[in-house]
Amino acid sequence: MILSTETRQSPFALILLVPCLLFCSLHAQTAPADSTSDAARLMQSGAAAMHQGNASEAEKLFRQATLAAPESPDAYLGLGMSELREGKIEEAEGALSKALELNPDAPGAHMFLGIAQYQINKLDAATASLKQELVTQPDSVEALTWLGIAELGAGHPDEAVAPLDRAATLSPKDPNVLDYRGRAHSLVAQESYRALTALDPDSWRVHRALGEVYSESRDWQNAVAEYQKAIGKQPNNSDLYEALGDTYQRLSRFDDATHAYETELKLSPRNSNALYNLGKIQVERGDAQRGVTLLRHAAEESAPSASISFYLGRGLVATGHAEEGVSWLEKSLAEEPSDFMKQSAYFQLTRAYKMLNRNDDAKRAADELQKLKSAAGTSGELR
């Protein structure tokens, strides 16, 4: 698989060029003594031009620097980076190769050479260059990400997973990293499912995979059918009953969902997900006392979660234990819930504070609820 030209020339490539420029203006020590000051001045000016987005001027200045200091790897590195920014990929490859010839350990040079090679479809060379960069810069998010991109471009999603996973660990909120990481895992999963289907198209694993595919496309009815087929072949698999129960909830078939989660709990007696889902359904359907019992067990068996804390708090308020319910609802807000759950928690807190005659707190909660609803552009009823 080769990624599209659009992907290969994406703005992401250009974003990576700027940080490395900083060292170009600081490393002119390799120039001959009689031209050091001229080369340093030219490289500093070239770095400034790049910072200002003027790649053509930067190229001219770095080219002059290579003439003033023909043994300076930094001059060729700056030249290659400016040419890469301009889209002169073949020229950039030559300049970056020259930089590495002069200094095989030039920071960033292997990475930018790999980017250039990727851009001109020299995928094997690109992965080799990027791996070499990681020898000296093992925690470079940029090099790890570009290695993943190059492996994807070469049709090796399985090889792309490890560097992209590492990049995501180092930079968990980088959207580019998350995007390419998601692609890699998705492609690996698709390959696995194709191989699995070829082995046995009627296996429980294939039916589970189809159920997941239908769920992702919100085709709940077909998802139910596939999970039921999987259960028919693997009746003691607790995870299948959880998936079936989750899908039934999407269809508002709460009796069926309850039966699925109860079966899951029989197969896995301390399963916090089953306990939570059963407790949640009971709280929502009016049997708050039973729901609270189940949710207490869920809280004992799992790490703190906003969902368990919210429904436990809601159930406690409904059973007349407003003081304890408030503490759980407040705890749910401290556990980074979704925006909708935040709204629901503030709605429940407003009611609970009023029950406890904590009117100032009730007003504060109501104000927070209104802010969230205004930000979301919603006015629907919460429960």
Count, in order, helices (H) and strands (E) of the chain: 22, 0
CA–CA gap between residue 372 and residue 379 (Å, rounded)? 10
pTM of the model: 0.64
In sequence order, what DSSP letters do the residues of 244-278 get, joined into one string?
HHHHHHHTT-HHHHHHHHHHHHHHSTT-HHHHHHH
Q: Which two tokens stand for residue 178?
A: 């998350």
What is the pLDDT, as a whole number, of residue 161?
A: 97
CA–CA gap between residue 171 and residue 177 (Å, rounded)? 8
Looking at residue 110, its amino acid is H
CA–CA gap between residue 150 and residue 295 (Å, rounded)? 47
Residue ranges per structural domain of the chain:
5-193, 200-326
CA–CA gap between residue 307 and residue 312 (Å, rounded)? 8
Q: Which two tokens stand for residue 190?
A: 């698709």
In sequence order, what are the residues at sequence separation of 6 or more whose Cβ sits closer than 8 angstroms to the Cβ of residue 8? Answer: 118, 119, 121, 153
Helix or strand (DSSP H, E) at 338: none
What is the pLDDT, as a whole number, of residue 38?
A: 87
Residue pLDDT, tens place only, 121-136: 999 999 999 999 999 9
What is the pLDDT, as a whole number, of residue 378?
A: 60
Question: Is 328 within 8 Å of 316 (Cβ atoms)?
Answer: yes
What is the pLDDT, as a whole number, of residue 379?
A: 53
CA–CA gap between residue 18 and residue 64 (Å, rounded)? 20
Q: How many CA atoms lie within 13 A of 86 on its CB side?
A: 20
CA–CA gap between residue 333 and residue 343 (Å, rounded)? 10
Which CATH code is given to the segment(s) 5-193?
1.25.40.10
Which ranges in 25-122 belong to alpha helices (H)? 36-51, 55-68, 73-86, 89-102, 109-119
CA–CA gap between residue 323 and residue 361 (Å, rounded)? 13
What is the pLDDT, as a whole number, of residue 37?
A: 82
Handedness of CA 52, 53, 55, 56 (dihedral sign): negative
What is the pLDDT, as a whole number, of residue 382?
A: 58
pLDDT in tens, the chain (383 residues): 334 333 443 434 433 443 444 444 334 344 444 456 888 899 999 999 988 989 999 999 999 999 999 999 999 999 999 999 999 999 999 999 999 999 999 999 999 999 999 999 999 999 999 999 999 999 999 999 999 999 999 999 999 999 999 999 999 999 999 999 999 999 998 898 889 899 999 999 999 999 998 998 999 999 999 999 999 999 999 999 999 999 999 999 999 999 999 999 999 999 999 999 999 999 999 999 999 999 999 999 998 799 999 999 999 999 999 999 999 999 999 998 999 999 999 999 999 999 999 999 999 999 999 999 998 876 555 55
What is the pLDDT, as a whole number, of residue 14?
A: 37
Identify the CA nearest to 348 among candidates 331, 366, 336, 334.
366
Q: How many CA atoms lie within 13 A of 189 on its CB side?
A: 12
What is the pLDDT, as a whole number, of residue 10?
A: 45
Q: Which two tokens stand for residue 78?
A: 């700056």
Q: Which two tokens stand for residue 55?
A: 């790649």
What is the pLDDT, as a whole number, of residue 34?
A: 46
Looking at residue 361, its amino acid is D
One fold for 5-193 and 200-326: yes
Q: What's the CATH architecture for 200-326?
A: Alpha Horseshoe (1.25)
CA–CA gap between residue 278 and residue 272 (Å, rounded)? 10
